[in-house]
Structure 1
Amino acid sequence: MRSVFLLSLLTVFVSAINISPHIRHEHRRDLPSGWNVVRRAPPTSTLPLRIGLAQPNLDQLEKHLLDVSHPDSPNYGQHWTPAKIAETFRPSQESVDAVREWLALEGVDASRMKLSKTGGWLEATVSVKEAEALLRTQYSVYEHEETGTQHIACGSAYHLPEHVSKHVELVTPTLHFDVKLKRDTGEGFNKRTAGPGFAKSIGKPGSGVVNPKTTGRINIKSIFQELSQCDQFITPNCIRALYDYVYVPLAPKKNSYGIVEYTPQAYLASDLDLFFKNFSKSQVGERPTLVGIDGGVVQTTDTGFDFNGESNLDLQFGMSLVGKSQPVTLYQVGDLPQGASFNNLLDALDGTFCTFEGGDDPSQDGIYPDPLPGGFTGAAQCGIVKPANVISTSYGYNEADLTPAYTARQCAEYGKLGLMGVTVLYSSGDNGVAGNGGLCLNPDGTQTRSGKIFNPSFPGGCPFVTSVGATQVNPGAKVTDPESACMQVIFSGGGFSNYFAIPEYQKTAVKTYLTKFSPPFSHDLWNATGTARAFPDLSANGANYVVAVNGQFSRVFGTSASSPVIGAILTAINDARLVIGKRPIGFINPTIYSPRFARAFNDITTGTNPGCGTDGFAATTGWDPVTGLGTPNFAKLLVEWLLLP
């Protein structure tokens, strides 16, 4: 009788699965710029279908972050351990079972299913034909018109049974085009057609991400009075003068500062010494501590500004500003043949991310071991290093390049790093309200240079990172005069996300801005709802940097410069706190937006960030979507942070 009863229950359960209708789980309005369908995917081809399981408690992530990051919280600075984070956000057995049972009912036997070690991904080896039936979609091969890169993806949407959908965050490969493009630059990298599984590095020239700009070489002998020429040449002393930044590290062995680069971007040792010789003599011969991730190397084969400008800029200013005694860690990500993505970096910082929170997708990320000639032959490196207290990255995408589900999953990982006490900085972009490459959105979601709709950036628009915009010393002005938003060569990226809701810590500042300084644009050009994450959060100078590149000095511009400068300043604040037995500042956004920090920034009230056929937003009193809260006043920030627990 008992067996009959159990069989009846099982029959009811299976029937419930059978009648659960499919609903749209993810969709996109159009293809990313440059991609075209070339043919249907062969139905018998094998797909490594990966199903990202829903993470419980993600809706509480902001609450948890505020608890350890808001200055008024009794738990300020009580950062979580990686083990506590993994346990809190581990998918439930109910989610695992629901997806397994659905796949089995559709004819995928257990031998073709595999649960990742941390329980976040359920992987199934299926044919294209099976995947199309499972997801009620159609797969095609797409090709990029400039590079010949090929990528397999489904149509404009995919679907899941309603009872399964609530247990799943995303499925790959499906809609995501986070493929890193490589162009023939004439400097050592040739076009190569790549199938699924060949990731393209965001470090390769021409990839469309945030990169510094240059107006060419300068004669170092023309810089004869540094502080009187900061409107023409930004040096470390100019930064110190602008932001009242004077500090000698007292606890460097307890502290850490990480700067991220993506192969083949690389510094030249001779350029470091040339820069130090002129601006920080005691550091001649000093080098960053290299952490090579997935075969990351400081290559010296391909040189020139496109290969050395970014890394030289970041390290020369980052290292000189923190000083000789404070080690700087260089996270060099990706091998030469294949390259890497943001996810590969996150793998190394948090071991659970490799298979759990965003993982490595063959269509998007560097997959290791790399079978290409000269590739990294080891396994993907997961949790190989404790994250630095401050991590600065000067790269970014257009938000519209990626699907909302993909960006949400990666953004959550930045939030978890914040829970661990890590400050994560990203450049806000160099094209004002337009995206990388000057691309703007069209009503159908496509990105073109003729588009009119503002195109926000990512990860700068993630609420769990600190987004850094750019300012300038105005031509003819003194270093003691107020700066303006950067309007030389580049424009500070800023605006309102189309994917992320406004975080609690930012609501008052954004409401004040929208009430007092309502932008004069039609609401169909930007996210004018007042409920969107706004960026940047703060700024630093981004114009006229003096950088040694390939044995010569060049004048460099970009939020690429602003982010490592902010990183150096925050590293000094961490040092001061560690000296007196306090913890690193961690995720800073709830703190810097709080009333007690209102006077610790230099408010920027002039300049705009043009783009998409408009003048962009205008810098105003208080927070604005051009320069954020303003530029740092180190002395005031130091006092306020030392007063916190």
Structure 2
Amino acid sequence: MLASRLLVAVTLALAAAAAGPQLSPRVLHESRGFAPLGWNPVRRATGLRIPLKIGLTQPNLASIEEYLMDVSHPESPNYGNHWSSAKVAQTFRPTQDSVDTVRTWLHQSGIEPHRVKVAGGWLTADVTAEEAEELLGTEYYVYEHENGAVQVGCDKKYHLPEHVSKHVDLITPTIHFDTKVKREQPGALGKRKTQNVGAPGFGPVSPKTTGTIKDVIDELEHCDTHTTVNCLRALYDFVYYPLVPDENSIGIVEYTPQAYSPSDLDLFFKNFSSSQVGQRPTMTSIDGGTIDVNGSGFGINGESNLDLQYAMALVGERQPVTLYQVGDPLEGGSFNNFLDALDGSFCTFEGGDDPSQDAVYPDPIKGGYTGKEDCGTVTPAKVISTSYSYDEWELTPAYMERQCAEYAKLGLMGTTVLYSSGDYGVGGYGDTCLLPNGTAGPGGKIFAPSFPGGCPYVTSVGATQVNPGAKVTDPESACEQVIYSGGGFSNVFKMPGYQKDAVNSYLSKYPPPYSTDLWNNTGSRGYPDLSANGANYPVAVQGEFYLVYGTSASSPVMASILSAVNDARLALGKNSIGFINPTIYSDVFSFGFNDITNGTNPGCGTKGYSAQPGWDPVTGLGTPNFVKLVALWLLLP
């Protein structure tokens, strides 16, 4: 009898061992340095039940750069063969292996099968706070928001068994604060920390002005003081007549309450492009986006007026320009709200948006947009320009990585995504610099990169200038008037393969003269990629002309030039240029840019980096020469 019992015990043990992987050592899965603004821990979560939601890894996500290179590298036989949205969704759908691995881990950890449910790419486990702490190697607290909201979350970080971690993107509630928080009313939109990137003065990218000007000069002899449409055409050899405008598309993204003024558009056209008086962008409203906002003036109209006046004038009257207006006037919006509208799968990808950073629709504020959230309702333009940004330190790595992956997917589908690189050189918003713990504050000296410019799947655009007293035919320099071209090295994203030669060449020939305690020299993504003029733009705002500065101008200018390249390719039956970074970093395309070798991007008590021959973290590869670029792109399949 004893022998038979022993045999049964051994058999059961062997069966258990074969049933699934054993628990492996724990590894750090996610962390953040501090809770989002307004949230504070008030007590331990002892005795509470937690619906633990486990988002499964999207398969093949680790190969997304490889897939993107296959359709974007000029030497690839599949160059330009962009994917359909259906193929993208299918490729990154979670696998059964991930479901089985996570479920087995939960069962081996004492969570009974009836407490675990599977829905799509998620597993939900009904656990106590104590069980959650044991599962994740962390401590749970009840957090309260200054507006009264309450949420359970863990203390700054959590862990997973190593063999489980590779199957999990994220777990909530942990360090992601997903409780709906009552937003500040419009009078508080000027506050620095808000999920509304359209708040006046928000972030490291926002147009700066030296004030109004009485006399608007549109002469090439004065491009050092007034950067007009004709100056830009002369600088970048850009004159083009669209051949297939109905097949082509260019989009400019704005975030309410930023909004353009139609009368200002006409005033600008009257002075610089008379045939376009009365022309308007084609507006696509996302989550209640509108140009009918309370308040006016440079803080509300400056960004949108700048972007649309120059983009529309540069592409000309034949090429329609789409305005993506994101968010209602009360809550506004974020980059994720915009991406939700472009790709329905992104709405739930890796757990969906983060309400501590992203707007929630229907709007919980009285009088806000009550319609359904825009999710997969908008077709992406072939070129999209955004003149807004965050500082990296404000966001969690998981938040940025989720968003960055979406830019890669847009590239797979043939969209070129441009972002301004920042206006504070190597510093963050208002020349905010980092402390050794990764936060920003007084006394910070460490360089503060921007986002999404540091994402390897966007094209980051820096700023140049025509030097005071110089001719429009003279070489430009890095912008050092009012703003400094944002640039540097990401603290989150590794260096992509397409830029390794260019960036390593810069670092070996022109090593930054700073301690590596101040900047990330561990092989990270360098930015910007390209540049365009960012100084002395006459912009019509509320019936007057302001002189405006910023990478806010550089991005829509670059978008206009790339849109013309698309038109030329489409006219020959070729596909759009899509994700351009692998192409522009190739040896052949080095001849398509005006190399910028003068100027720096000061910040954090330093002179910043220096513009040098070849790529540099001030102006990237340089400014465009349209005639050369369109010829080079027309030679590609």
In 2, distance between residues paired with 1:448 and 1:631?
A: 34
8 Å Cα contact 2:216/2:538 also seen in 1: no
CA contact (8 A) 2:199 2:258 kept: yes
Residue in 1 that maps onto 2:593: 601
The counterpart of 1:587, out of the listed 579, 597, 605, is 579
Residues of 1 paired with 2:24 and 2:248: CA distance?
54
Q: 1:286 maps to which residue?
A: 279
Which residue in 2 is equivalent to 1:516?
509
Residue type of the partner of 2:62? D
Q: 2:239 aligns with which of 237, 243, 246?
A: 246
- The equivalent residue for 2:260 is 267
Question: 1:518-556 deviations in whole A, cap 9, x for unaligned?
Answer: 111112211123x21111000001111111112211111
1:211-610 maps to which residues of 2 (within 5 A)? 211-219=206-214, 222-357=215-350, 359-529=352-522, 531-610=523-602
Match for residue 98 of structure 2 among 83, 95, 98:
95
Q: Secondary structure at the match of 1:365?
A: coil
Residue 128 of structure 1 and its aligned partner are, at CA, apart by 5.8
SS at match of 2:331: coil
Return the alpha-carbon distance in structure 2 between the equivalents of residues 149 and 471 of structure 1: 45
Give the Å deviation of 1:56: 1.7
Give the equivalent residue in structure 2 for 1:613: 605
Cα distance between partner residues in 2 of 1:141 and 1:482: 58
User: Secondary structure of the equivalent of 2:384?
Assistant: strand
Residue 175 of structure 2 corresponds to which residue in structure 1?
A: 175
Residue 242 (structure 1) shift: 0.9
285-294 vs 386-395, which deviates more? Answer: 285-294
More off after superposition, 451-460 vs 176-185: 176-185
| Contact 1:180/1:207 (<8 A) preserved | no
- 8 Å contact from structure 2 (residues 287, 327) kept in 1: yes
CA distance in 2, matches of 1:168, 1:94: 11
Which residue type is aligned with residue 620 of structure 1? Q
- Asked if structure 2 preserves the Cα contact closer than 8 Å seen for 1:182 and 1:206, the reply is no
Counting aligned pairs with the same residue, the percent is 63
Number of the residue aligned with 2:139: 138
User: Partners of 1:361 and 1:317 in 2: how far apart?
Assistant: 33
Shift of 1:249: 0.9
Structure 2 CA distance for aligned equivalents of residues 571 and 417 of structure 1: 16
Are 2:162 and 1:162 equivalent residues in the alignment? yes
**Code of the aligned partner of 1:508:** D
AA matched with 2:590? A
User: Residue deviations 1:571-602, cap 9 Å, x none?
Assistant: 01100111111110001011111111111111
Distance in structure 2 (CA, Å) of the matches to 1:286 and 1:80: 34
Q: Closer, same or farther in 2 for the Cα pair 1:385/1:452, shift >3 Å?
A: same
Partner of 1:83: 86
Larger displacement relative to structure 2 (408-417 or 173-182): 173-182
How big is the shift at 1:336?
Answer: 2.7
Instruction: Select between 269-278 and 397-406 the one with higher mean Cα deviation.
Output: 397-406
Deviations 1:337-381 (A, max 9, x none): 333221111111111111125622333322332332123323322
- Alpha-carbon deviation of 1:133? 4.7
Residues 183/606 of structure 1: CA separation in 2 closer, same or farther (3 Å cut): farther
**Which residue identity does 2:323 align to in structure 1?**
L
Equivalent residue letter for 1:227: L
Change in 2 beyond 3 A, CA 1:437/1:173: farther
Deviation at 1:283, TM superposition (A): 1.3
8 A Cα contact 1:316 1:547, kept in partner: yes
Per the alignment, do residues 136 and 489 of structure 1 end up closer, same or farther by CA in structure 2, a change over 3 Å counting? same
- Give 5+ residue unaligned stretches, structure 2: 1-7
The CA deviation string for residues 117-170 of structure 1, in whole angstroms up to 9 with x for no partner, is xx3x4456767666545433234466899x999886432211223332121122
3-state SS in 2 of match to 1:441: coil
Determine the structure 1 residue equivalent to 2:622: 630
| 2:66 aligned partner | 63
TM-score by length of 2: 0.91
Deviates more, 1:170-179 or 1:314-323: 170-179
- Find the aligned partners of 1:469 and 1:181 in 2 and give their Cα distance: 35
SS at match of 1:554: strand
Equivalent position to 1:205, from 185, 200, 203: 200
Q: SS of the residue aligned with 1:412?
A: helix
What is the letter of the counterpart of residue 60 of structure 1? S
Separation (CA, whole Å) in 2 of partners of 1:375 and 1:47: 31
Q: Give the stretch that moved more between structures: 375-384 or 301-310.
A: 375-384
Q: Is 2:181 the counterpart of 1:188?
A: no
CA distance in 2, matches of 1:614, 1:65: 37
Give the Cα–Cα distance (whole angstroms) in 2 for the partners of residues 152 and 368 of structure 1: 22
C-alpha offsets along residues 238-280 of structure 1, whole Å, 9 cap, x if unaligned?
Answer: 1111111101111100000011111211111111111111111
Change (3 A) 1:37 1:298: same
| Change over 3 Å in CA distance of 1:595–1:111 after alignment to 2 | same
Aligned length: 629
Q: Describe the SS at the equivalent of 2:627.
A: helix
CA distance in 1, matches of 2:204, 2:149: 17
Conservation of the 8 A alpha-carbon contact between 1:471 and 1:485: yes
Question: Cα–Cα, structure 1 residues 354 and 313, in superposed 2: closer, same or farther, change >3 Å?
Answer: same
Paired with 2:602 and 2:431, the residues of 1 have a C-alpha distance of 10
Indicate conservation of the 8 Å contact 2:362/2:371, yes or no.
yes
Name the CA shift for 1:528/1:316 in 2 (closer, same or farther; >3 Å).
Answer: same
Secondary structure of the residue that 1:512 maps to in structure 2?
A: helix
SS at match of 2:408: helix
Provide the C-alpha distance between the structure 2 equivalents of 1:494 and 1:190, rounded to a whole number of angstroms.
Answer: 27
- Closer, same or farther: CA 179–543 of 1 in aligned 2, 3 Å: farther
**Bigger mean CA deviation after superposition, 223-232 or 583-592:** 223-232
Q: How far, CA to CA, are the matches of 1:242 and 1:359 in structure 2?
A: 43
* TM-score, normalised with respect to structure 1: 0.90
Aligned partners of 1:643, 1:78: CA distance in 2, in Å?
15
* Partners of 1:206 and 1:45 in 2: CA distance: 41
Query: 2-side partners of 1:465 and 1:482: how far apart?
Result: 26
Instruction: Please tell me the root mean square deviation across aligned C-alpha atoms, in Å.
Output: 3.1
In 2 relative to 1, CA 260–150 (structure 1 residues): closer, same or farther, beyond 3 Å?
farther
Deviation sequence 1:459-504 (CA, Å, 0-9, x none): 1011111010000111111111111000111110111112212111
Q: Give the whole-Å Cα distance in 1 for the aligned partners of 2:616 and 2:627.
A: 23
Deviation at 1:86, TM superposition (A): 1.3
What's the CA shift string for 1:276-327, capped at 9, x where partnerless?
1111111111111111112222233122222211111111111111111111
Structure 1 residues 266 and 6, CA gap change in structure 2 (3 angstroms) = farther
State the 1:43 CA deviation.
5.3
Preserved CA contact (<8 Å) 1:172 1:361: no
Q: 1:611 to 1:33 in 2, by over 3 A?
A: farther
Native 8 Å contact 1:396 1:457 kept in 2 = yes
The one-character-per-residue Cα deviations of 1:86-108 (angstroms, maximum 9, x if unpaired) are: 11121111212333454565548
How much has 1:418 moved relative to structure 2?
0.6
Code of the residue aligned with 1:228 in structure 2: it is E
Question: Cα gap change, 1:306/1:190 in structure 2, threshold over 3 Å: closer, same or farther?
Answer: closer
Summarize deviations over 1:588-642 as a string: whole Å, max 9, x none.
0111111111111111111000011110000011111100000001111111111
Deviation at 1:44, TM superposition (A): 6.8
- Structure 2 partner of 1:115: 119
Secondary structure at the aligned position of 2:591 is classed as coil
- In the alignment, the residues of structure 2 paired with residue 175 and residue 22 of structure 1 have an alpha-carbon distance, to the nearest angstrom, of 18
* Structure 1 spans left out of the alignment, 5+ residues: none
